Amino acid sequence: MSFNEAQTEAIHHKEGPLLIIAGPGSGKTTVIVNRTKNLIEEHHIDPRKILVVTFTKSAAEEMGIRFQKLCLEEEDPDQYTGVHFGTIHSICFQILVSYFGYDYSQLIQENEKYRILYALAKQYDFASLDYNKFIADIAKAIGYIKNCDGKDINYSKFDVSEYQVKKMMKGYQEVLEKEHKIDFDDMLLRCRDNLKKHEDVLADVQETFHYIMIDEFQDTNNVQAEIFNMIAEKRKNICVVGDDDQSLYRFRGAKPEIMLDFEKTYPKTKKVVLNINYRSDRNIVAASKKFIEYNKTRFPKDIKSFHKRRYKIQLLQLPNDKEQNTWIIKKINELYKKGVPYSEMAVIYRTNRESKTVIDQLVKKDIPFQAKIEDVINIYNHFIFNDILNFMELAKGSKSMARWTRALKRPTAYIPNDAFKECKSLDDLKQWGFDHGKPYIKKNIEAVERKIRKLKVLDFKKQVGYIKRTLNYEEGLISYAEYKGEDETLLLEILDDLEEDSKECNSMKEWQQRAKEYTATIKRTVSIDEEKDAVNLTTMHGSKGLEYQVVFMIDVNEGITPYEKAETVPELEEERRMFYVGMTRAKERLFIISTDQFRGKDTVPSDYYYELQNILEKKES
């Protein structure tokens, strides 16, 4: 196998710190496995002394398989046996088990973690109507705090309040201690702390691993970096591989600055830049290079394409998201007829809420597709959809007290919880108000009753809008979000989406059937099968590490990308890196699409759209 000059330099580096800056499609995995082989083959390093750390379990397994295949080509493949491939979590847990008496029964599983958090949320009366989202947000916040070692936490970035996070985290940790359990993030903290306290154990670990190679180093957090540096401290044989331009996990505590400062941590570092992109067309490489250079906190690098081919990058500005999806479907069919497999096409978006209208069109046109569960959103599984159906059932004449209780709580009719607990009917509620000196309760209930009676006679296409505005449901959502310490933005977006979606149907029954079919479709498609010929749907985050012949980047509009919540320079630079990752997934054709309207509201193209327009115009001139 032949290597370019930079790859050869990295593969043959023996001792001392090595920083490999690997641009998109530059063959970093090839370099890692061949350097590992070279250390054993040329320098006679005991394979058991080599540690290769990857970001995910699947990446570790894939790296190990590639290394095995490479070594099977040799006369004596057994001489390469013993290299450690694993994630930082697996390595840390192995240390805890081997030296500090931990066992696998102490490691809490995700379902156990959610069980504890659910019980605590119920106990503290948090998020009483949407436990799933609340618990997911809390779990994310706890993980972030642990990954940051509890330092420099900006609680305003969470979708739950600081009070809720701190109270839930305190309760969660108390339960873990009581049950003698640790979670995945605790593994790293316990390992780091124990290695600091026990010099003899650290010395033994240093003797176990003489050479350390770390993949995806741009996504390392402070706790992980401390562990790596302790293990490598004695010999300094640490090799880190990554691309600062593809660091996307600041929200999990990752700090690209750790990679950027590597040469300060290890002054004798040898730096190698893998700057040949073997994946993408020359125009894609050139445009993405200019685009990412708007970021200032980065390693300068001159990425070049290995290929001579040139496909034109297409920027399109379409009237609305419906027209956008119609155009995409037409182009997918056109390319498929020309011989491009569905599996070589991907639709990439900033957040999973942009996935729904694309999925609708793919289903209508019977085009196979696939996605990971976290990369799509099902608005029909949300409590807002069920709230809306609840109003509609009441309009049809339901007398259910459970339904009336739900309707009178959001938007609030200012009825105390004790009244709902004590009363079995609306008449009971009205009487309760008089008995307790609150005559306004009867007036409020009757006002809601009048509005719901009017809902019954409205054309179905207008009913969600009526619930939203006349029944003050939108206002109720805002109050609910404020009370629960949650971000109202996503709730209002889902309500808007449901209003637009309902206009596609003629009755409640038809809408429910649409929801049922959509939910069934999502269940069938939320898994990735590499053998399946299906269009890929993914967020920019989810696209990392993947590649396709054709990429459609959709909804490139202001407020969507860069995401409207990104405010600080580090956050805005990460948004640009995300878009860069999306662009560099494309091997041949790249379509970047903006719309004049999004979900029925006027919008304008993202700054990214105009920047790329300018980049492409300059290139052509």
What's 433's domain CATH number? 1.10.486
Same domain, 483 and 385: yes
Same domain, 451 and 332: no
Q: Is residue 243 part of a domain?
A: yes
Q: Is residue 413 part of a domain?
A: yes
141 assigned ligand-binding residue: no
- Give the pLDDT confidence score for residue 498 in this predicted structure: 93
Is the preceding peptide bond at 17 cis, omega within 30 degrees of 0?
no
Say if CB 281 and CB 588 are below 8 A apart.
yes
- Give the pLDDT confidence score for residue 529 in this predicted structure: 74
28 assigned ligand-binding residue: yes
Instruction: Name the DSSP letter for residue 24.
Output: T
Q: Is residue 295 part of a domain?
A: no
CA–centroid distance for 412 within its chain: 34
24 assigned ligand-binding residue: yes
559 assigned ligand-binding residue: no
- Give the pLDDT confidence score for residue 518 in this predicted structure: 87
Q: Is residue 12 part of a domain?
A: yes
- Give the pLDDT confidence score for residue 24 in this predicted structure: 97
Same domain, 388 and 476: yes
- Give the pLDDT confidence score for residue 127 in this predicted structure: 59
Same domain, 558 and 598: yes
411 assigned ligand-binding residue: no
Say if CB 460 and CB 501 are below 8 A apart.
no
Cα separation, 256 vs 570, in Å, equals 10
Same domain, 457 and 348: no
Query: Which CATH number does the domain housing residue 206 bear?
Result: 3.40.50.300
Same domain, 499 and 561: no
Q: Is residue 31 part of a domain?
A: yes
- Across the chain, which has 621 residues, the per-10-residue mean pLDDT values are 94 97 96 97 96 93 94 87 95 96 93 94 76 86 93 84 93 96 95 97 97 97 96 97 95 92 97 97 96 96 91 95 94 97 97 86 89 83 94 95 93 90 93 94 95 94 96 93 76 90 95 92 76 92 95 96 90 97 98 92 95 89 56
Last residue of some domain: 222, 252, 274? 274
Continuous H helices in 252-369: 256-260, 262-265, 282-292, 321-337, 355-364
Same domain, 497 and 539: no
Q: What is the chain's Cα-based Rg? A: 28
8 assigned ligand-binding residue: no
The most distant pair of C-alpha atoms in the chain lies apart, rounded to whole Å, by 93
Q: Is residue 428 part of a domain?
A: yes
Cα separation, 254 vs 221, in Å, equals 4
Same domain, 404 and 353: no
Burial class (CB in 10 A: 0-12, 13-18, 19+), 150: exposed
Strands 50-54 vs 211-214: parallel, antiparallel or unpaired: parallel
Q: Is residue 374 part of a domain?
A: no
Same domain, 114 and 225: no
Continuous H helices in 150-255: 162-178, 184-197, 199-208, 222-232
Residue 21 corresponds to which tokens in the numbers above? 């800056």
Same domain, 489 and 400: yes
Tell me which residue range forms the domain holding 454.
380-517
307 to 4, 125, 313, 587: CA distances (angstroms): 14, 59, 15, 10
171 assigned ligand-binding residue: no
Last residue of some domain: 517, 546, 581? 517
300 assigned ligand-binding residue: no
Same domain, 88 and 220: yes
Strands 211-214 vs 238-242: parallel, antiparallel or unpaired: parallel
Residue 481 in 3-state DSSP? helix
Last residue of some domain: 132, 155, 181? 181
Q: How many domains does the chain have?
A: 4
Q: Is residue 282 part of a domain?
A: no
Same domain, 568 and 445: no
- Give the pLDDT confidence score for residue 157 in this predicted structure: 79
